[in-house]
Structure 1
Amino acid sequence: MTEVASEQLLVVVDPSARRTDGESVRIAKDVLCAGARVKWCLPEGREEFARALERRGSRRPVVVGDDHALLRAVTVLERHGELDGCALAVVPVVGRPGALTVALSLGVPQGTVAAARAVLDGSVRRLDLLADDAGGLVLGELRIPAVDAAPHRGLRPARRRYRSLVSALARQSRAAAEAAGAAGPGPSRLRVETDGATLVDLDQPVRAVTVTPGRTGRADVEVRPVSVGAEAAPLQAAARTVTVSGADFRYRADATVAGPVRTRTWTVRAGAWGLVLPG
């Protein structure tokens, strides 16, 4: 890890953070402004969020928000070829449970004050990520099949009410299915290849596949086969490239769900980005 030099900060506050927890945003502002020269940016949407990062100049970017905001910032910097030379920091602010899984797994402090102090006093840690063949990035975890899909954000009130009604009906349907003794999602038939070698093939149904960027230039891959009788041991590998193919499948990459696709390849990019963490 390298020390963070004293410099001016560009603090970009995600709109959802302001709506859901304005008090934490205010606390973050107080702590950051007390310890650094800060330009405070309050974008109204994704386009303004992206423009603020693109026009930051020499200022060090700090994102106030949840996993979605962090991923959006990384994507913007990557799109402009600035991710490698940028030390990004994040102050987690969220109003929904489970929306900070990625940030916390990477070592960002959960408390607003502790996270803001880490921005001022922390060090830059170079981290691996996964890049797929469609331009997507994974910072924390890739999971197949996609489970616990994140709720839709940025919808108009009427559409949000509609989505809520659909979700409620879906929950009722699932509850009825469970009461009738129905099982959860069935197994998938997928071919998983790690660095060109087949880890599991289509003739072996699997319950789940997880791929996590490591810290050694390789990803940790785990495949959980369907057990017959005794619990089947997971299949594990470390690889620079992972290709999954088979019938249409969806996957969860950090806070987003993508697909369906027939095949996708993820490649590890070692030390591709820098995140400011407690020293």
Structure 2
Amino acid sequence: MATYPTSDPLLVVIDPGARRTDGESVRIAKDVLSAGAATKVCLPDGPEEFARALARRGSRRPVVVGDDRALLRAVTVLHRRRELAGCVLSVVPVGDVMHLARSLGVPTGPVAAARAVLDGSVRRLDLLVDDSDGVVLGALHIPPLDLREAPPDDTALDAGTGAGAGSATAFGGGPGGGRDWLRTCQSLVRTLVARPPRAATDTAPAPSRLRVEVDGVAVVDLDQPVEAVSVVPGARGMAEVEVRPLSGPGAEASPLLAEGRTVTVSGAHFRYRADAVVSGPVRTRTWTVREGAWGLVVPAPR
């Protein structure tokens, strides 16, 4: 890790979520940073102003005051502007979600984190980049399929009545109006009657059927139900992949482990959690490791 010059002027971008969640920690961080370096403070009201502040940073070193989502937003902005490799980021974690910052070695207290910004060292980190230009800093998880997201069973039945609430014949305004009115009433009654609760087996997450490839080699295919998939940036520009298949109905098999530079997941529509953000559904997605793609200031080793 390289020591970063503390004399550099700072651009302190304070995420609006941090201001709402913990204004006192924001104030403490700002005071510590202002006492140790020349600072310009920016208070964006939303994502667009956040991105504009980073784009206009000039020679100032950006410091994000916010939670994991704010850090991810900053990395995404710089990556999509193709400025990430030449920019070193600092973060003072403030907010509800700070697991990612902690796992990357950033102190979660405002004083310690602000001092690390001033006196810390640059740690080069790998990055997962997907084929839609999204980024993953810490971990990627594909959870089981949740059947609760499926539409209610009777939607097709209601749609098939042909008697929408706004139709011209719904209340007898045309030929066959009486029959249309009756169907409308029947549909309304079906909507108002309480549905019996679904069985627990109908609402529990079910295993997905996915094909997972690492560097073009299949780790698991569609014929094997998958409980979960996780991908994290490892060492030496490699991604570490863990696939948890099911060996039979409800019987969990040993995890399948692999590592490589590209990971492709395909199959039925699936959602995935990248750091603190849930994306999808998609049918296929490929992630590629970018070795040492970004720099983060962390406390200097003692």
Give the shorter-chain TM-score range: 0.7 to 0.9
RMSD: 1.8
Of 229, 244, 256, 1:209 maps to 229
Shift of 1:145: 2.2
Contact between 1:131 and 1:268, CA under 8 Å: does it hold in 2?
yes
Residues 193-204 of structure 1 mapped to structure 2, 5 A cutoff: 193-204=213-224
Aligned position for 1:140:
138
Contact between 2:12 and 2:41, CA under 8 Å: does it hold in 1?
yes
Q: Which amino acid aligns with 1:214?
A: G
Distance in 2 between residues matched to 1:177 and 1:240, nearest whole Å? 43
Higher Rg: 2
Contact between 1:146 and 1:252, CA under 8 Å: does it hold in 2?
no
Q: Which amino acid aligns with 1:125?
A: R
Of 111, 114, 128, 1:113 maps to 111
Distance in 2 between residues matched to 1:274 and 1:147, nearest whole Å? 35
Shift of 1:146: 7.3
Of 267, 273, 277, 1:252 maps to 273
Aligned position for 1:18:
19
- SS of match in other structure, 1:189: strand
Aligned position for 1:33:
34
Structure 1 gap ranges (5+) = 149-175
Aligned position for 2:49:
48
Q: Which amino acid aligns with 2:88?
A: A
**How many equivalent pairs are there?**
248
Residues 1-279 of structure 1 mapped to structure 2, 5 A cutoff: 1-5=1-5, 6-94=7-95, 96=96, 99-145=97-143, 180=200, 184-228=204-248, 231-279=252-300
Distance 1:53 1:147, change over 3 A: farther
Contact between 2:144 and 2:226, CA under 8 Å: does it hold in 1?
no
- SS of match in other structure, 2:70: helix
Q: Which piece of structure 1 moves more, 38-47 or 9-18?
A: 38-47
Contact between 2:29 and 2:114, CA under 8 Å: does it hold in 1?
yes
Shift of 1:147: 9.2
TM-score, normalised relative to structure 2: 0.78
Contact between 2:144 and 2:208, CA under 8 Å: does it hold in 1?
no
Distance 1:105 1:177, change over 3 A: farther
Q: Residue deviations 1:73-98, cap 9 Å, x none?
A: 1111112211001110000000x3xx
Q: Which amino acid aligns with 1:271?
A: G
Contact between 2:139 and 2:232, CA under 8 Å: does it hold in 1?
yes
Distance in 2 between residues matched to 1:183 and 1:219, nearest whole Å? 33
Distance in 2 between residues matched to 1:184 and 1:122, nearest whole Å? 46
Structure 2 gap ranges (5+) = 147-196
Distance in 2 between residues matched to 1:55 and 1:260, nearest whole Å? 34
Distance in 1 between residues matched to 2:222 and 2:109, nearest whole Å? 45
Q: Identity of paired residues, percent? A: 72
Contact between 2:11 and 2:63, CA under 8 Å: does it hold in 1?
yes
Q: Residue deviations 1:246-274, cap 9 Å, x none?
A: 01111111111111111110000000000
Distance in 2 between residues matched to 1:230 and 1:50, nearest whole Å? 47
Q: Which amino acid aligns with 2:287?
A: W
Shift of 1:20: 1.1
Contact between 2:13 and 2:63, CA under 8 Å: does it hold in 1?
yes
Contact between 1:147 and 1:252, CA under 8 Å: does it hold in 2?
no
Shift of 1:227: 3.9
Distance in 1 between residues matched to 2:299 and 2:265, nearest whole Å? 36
- Runs of 4+ off more than 4 Å: 180-183
- SS of match in other structure, 1:226: strand
